[in-house]
Chain A
Amino acid sequence: MPLRDETVIKLLAFFRRDAHADIDTLSAAADGSLESGRALALEAHLASCEACAVRLAELRAVRSALAAMPAAEAPRSFRLRQSDVEVAATRKADRGAGQVLRLMPVMSAAAVVLFAVLVGVDMQSGSSGRSAASRAVTGAPAAERAKDTLANAPVPQTAAADRAPAAPAPAPSGGAPGIEPVQTAAGGTFPAAPASGSATASSAEAAPARPTSAVFRDTSTEGGTGGDHTALRIAEAIAAALATGAGVAAVFGWRRSRGVHR
């Protein structure tokens, strides 16, 4: 077979060029898995390279040492009992409970914040109209900040608020001294709005955050209270769900601490 001979000659030439045999070749030779062509070439190389011959001998010694390691008897039976299988299932369920438990502080905090907002909104709606309050809720915690800003804002701001839509897209952080109260309010309530570019869009969205007089005017002219009620109901439902979740997690925690699960 001329082709095969050629391969062998090439390999022989490769090894004679004094490159040492690589570890994959030597390792395969040590366990007898080297294919015959390469085995022949290696043999030729080993005849003239002591380093590789020693390395191969050492690899064979390693194999012998490993094979000579005695196998231990199983120290006991590892048969599974029904209880092992059940405990494993319980442990799995417990791990799930653990994840719920980790969320408890977050859920509790979120429920508290949401309830606080809702209470504040209800109180406000008692004095200043239901729909305006409901709208503020859509901004959730950010709306709180907005309200603070507005509460501290001076009265002449109303005029500034009316001017605001004409100004091109204010920055959310609101730093410009002239009209900053409104900008801050709008940015705080709807952070995405200023970036959206359209002046009319930002004016419409800024409306709920305006001082109370402006809000009164807006709500009386715009209507749309149905959607606001829906938002309020959704917020209430979320708060209730969070509180329930926190409660469930607390029960899991209590059961775990009582050692219900092992």
Chain B
Amino acid sequence: MGDLGAFNALVDLHQRGVYNLCLRMLGSRMPAEDATQEAFLSAYRGIRSFKGVHFRAWLMRIAANACTDELRRRARRPALSLDTPPPGTDDPVDVPDAAAGPEALALRGEEHERVQAALLRLPADQRLAVIMCDMQGFAYEEIAAAMRTSIGTVKSRIARGRDKLRRELAASREHSSGGNRP
């Protein structure tokens, strides 16, 4: 089917961005893969309804909806908590970085885990806005298109999200340095 071939060219172009959005929204790989696949399926079905100018933002909106569905599914199954991935059972989102030594790598991995855990404690709308703005480099206008809201609301969500992250990270650093004290 020609349609499918053309669509798959778009998948190739955007799959990394969509997968990373889902990964940061959900905090673990398997659900992120499922949400990514679901997002592309939904996008394929709804491609004719896309009439805007921000295709990438439209795709991210669909991905965010797929993540919301996944979060709802998790909320229905209390064994998998909405906010914190169960320790040990879940694969941590640790992306390898070949350019660093083992110690630096471990430290950096710890920091990444802290940031990811703090992200997961944000309300979903703030999390989405912060991820799109500060991790994926979307402009306010694109985020507003993706979230179907005003730029003012987007700015406000980002501000609240960043502030909550600031407090969370300060608290978790304090906690870990306090724990290391003799």
Q: Is B93 an interface residue (CB 8 A)?
A: yes
Contact of B95 among A24, A62, A70 (CB under 8 A): A70
Contacts of A26 in B (CB 8 A): 159, 163
Give CA–CA (A84, B7) in the complex, Å.
Answer: 13
Give CA–CA (A73, B96) in the complex, Å.
Answer: 10
Q: Is A75 an interface residue (CB 8 A)?
A: yes
A71 touches B20 (CB 8 A): yes
Contacts of B117 in A (CB 8 A): none
Q: Given A58-B166, A80-B4, A88-B45, verify A69-B116 contact (CB < 8 Å).
A: yes
Q: Which of B49-57, B76-84, B127-135 contacts A (4 or more CB under 8 A)?
A: B127-135
Q: Given A23-B163, A78-B36, A88-B45, verify A66-B115 contact (CB < 8 Å).
A: yes
Q: Is A258 an interface residue (CB 8 A)?
A: no
Q: Is B106 an interface residue (CB 8 A)?
A: no
**Chain B: interface residue total (CB-CB under 8 A):** 45
Q: Is A77 an interface residue (CB 8 A)?
A: yes
Give CA–CA (A65, B133) in the complex, Å.
Answer: 13
A75 touches B134 (CB 8 A): no
Q: Which of A28-36, A117-125, A176-184, A223-231 contacts B (4 or more CB under 8 A)?
A: A28-36
Interface centre among A23, A69, A72 (most CB of B within 10 A): A69
Interface centre among A33, A62, A72 (most CB of B within 10 A): A62
In the complex formed, the residue of B with least CB distance to A55 is B166
Q: How far is the CB of B156 from chain A (nearest CB, A)?
A: 6
Report the 3 A-B pairs with minimum CB-CB distance, sorted nearest first.
Answer: A27-B159, A66-B134, A70-B95
Contacts of A58 in B (CB 8 A): 166, 170
* A35-72 interface code vs B (CB 8 A; 1 in, 0 out): 00000000000000000000100110111011101111
**Chain A: interface residue total (CB-CB under 8 A):** 33
Q: How far is the CB of B138 from chain A (nearest CB, A)?
A: 12
Give CA–CA (A169, B29) in the complex, Å.
Answer: 70
Give CA–CA (A168, B172) in the complex, Å.
Answer: 77
Contact of A73 among B16, B40, B41, B158 (CB under 8 A): B16
Query: What are 30 residue pairs bridging A and B, where the CB atoms are less than 8 Å apart in the complex?
Result: A23-B159, A24-B155, A24-B159, A26-B159, A26-B163, A27-B155, A27-B162, A30-B162, A59-B163, A62-B134, A62-B166, A63-B134, A65-B111, A67-B135, A69-B24, A69-B95, A69-B115, A71-B95, A71-B135, A72-B16, A72-B20, A73-B16, A74-B15, A74-B19, A79-B8, A79-B11, A80-B8, A80-B41, A82-B1, A85-B4
Q: How far is the CB of A23 from chain B (nearest CB, A)?
A: 5
A72 touches B23 (CB 8 A): yes
Q: Is B74 an interface residue (CB 8 A)?
A: no
Q: How far is the CB of A39 from chain B (nearest CB, A)?
A: 15
Q: How far is the CB of A146 from chain B (nearest CB, A)?
A: 46
Q: Is A4 an interface residue (CB 8 A)?
A: no
Q: Is A76 an interface residue (CB 8 A)?
A: yes
* B59-74 interface code vs A (CB 8 A; 1 in, 0 out): 0000000000000000
Contact of B162 among A62, A71, A72, A76 (CB under 8 A): A62
Contacts of A23 in B (CB 8 A): 159-160, 163
Q: How far is the CB of A43 from chain B (nearest CB, A)?
A: 19
Q: Given A33-B140, A74-B19, A76-B33, verify A69-B135 contact (CB < 8 Å).
A: yes
